[in-house]
Structure 1
């Protein structure tokens, strides 16, 4: 067809924001300092 594949497909929509998730993760890290990234990420 003569057009690039990237122009044909729609871009996925980004989530509105994840600041609440990041703040919750920081709160968990502050409360439980010995938790690793896997345990903090699964909460």
Structure 2
């Protein structure tokens, strides 16, 4: 998955400090976790 931010942006999460992103293209990698019998995408 790709994310295009032509004007930059910010990632905000209540448990972490904001992250400022410069303009450009970003590859989004979804974190996965193992649960007995399967692998699932982390939902935060």
Q: State the TM bucket, normalised to the shorter chain.
A: under 0.3
Higher-strand-fraction structure: 2
Structure number with greater CO (CA < 8 Å, separation at least 6) is 2
Higher-helix-fraction structure: 1
- CA radius of gyration, larger in: 1
